[in-house]
């Protein structure tokens, strides 16, 4: 009987402790499209999440034609990108393979945008580390 009470007490305390621990809010966004509606969607989500959860870690990974979001000459959301880049918890990363395939130089990207060797591998790495995944689309 004492053993059962002890076991139940440990379970109740363990559940209480686990429910009191907040999971980190970490999301990687997958943007492959140059579509202005997709650009609008991802920037809206970044804005809404950072407003509601200032410590959320967000990363927008771009490959295919998605990197046009962070090209000042092509982006419809450049002001919002620059604003988001001021947040140390938000990053924009462009696949170097996509840049090479589209003959785009890193210098054509907005200041503060980073590059990664392989955008898909970047996403897989984040998922493996427990980050949530969102495919951007409208």
pLDDT digits (tens, 9 = 90+) for 41-91: 999 999 999 999 999 999 999 999 999 999 999 998 999 999 999 999 999
Give me the pLDDT at residue 62, please. 98
| Domain ranges, ordered by start, for the chain | 24-135
pTM recorded for the entire structure = 0.84
Give the mean pLDDT of the chain.
Answer: 89
Give me the pLDDT at residue 138, please. 79
Q: Could you tell me the pLDDT band of residue 33, with boundaries at 50, 70 and 90?
A: very high
CA distance 3 to 12: 14
* CATH topology classification for 24-135: Hypothetical Protein Ychn; Chain: A, (3.40.1260)
- Written as one string, the DSSP assignment of 5-43 is HHHHHHHHHHHHHHHHSPPP-EEEEEE----HHHHHHHH
Question: 26: buried, middle or exposed (CB in 10 Å: 19+, 13-18, 0-12)?
Answer: middle
Give me the pLDDT at residue 23, please. 87
């Amino acid at each position: 009987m004492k053993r059962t009470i002890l076991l139940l007490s440990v379970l109740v305390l363990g559940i209480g402790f686990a429910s009191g621990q907040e999971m980190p809010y970490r999301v990687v966004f997958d943007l492959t499209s140059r579509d202005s509606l997709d650009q609008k969607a991802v920037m809206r989500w970044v804005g809404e999440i950072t407003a509601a959860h200032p410590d959320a870690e967000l990363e927008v990974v771009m490959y295919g034609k998605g990197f046009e979001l962070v090209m000042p000459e092509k982006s419809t959301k450049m002001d919002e990108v620059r604003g988001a880049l001021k947040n140390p918890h938000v990053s924009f990363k462009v696949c170097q393979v996509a840049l090479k395939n589209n003959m785009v130089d890193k210098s054509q990207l907005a200041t503060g945008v980073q590059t990664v060797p392989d955008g898909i591998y970047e996403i897989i790495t984040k998922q493996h580390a427990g980050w949530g995944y969102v495919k951007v689309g409208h």
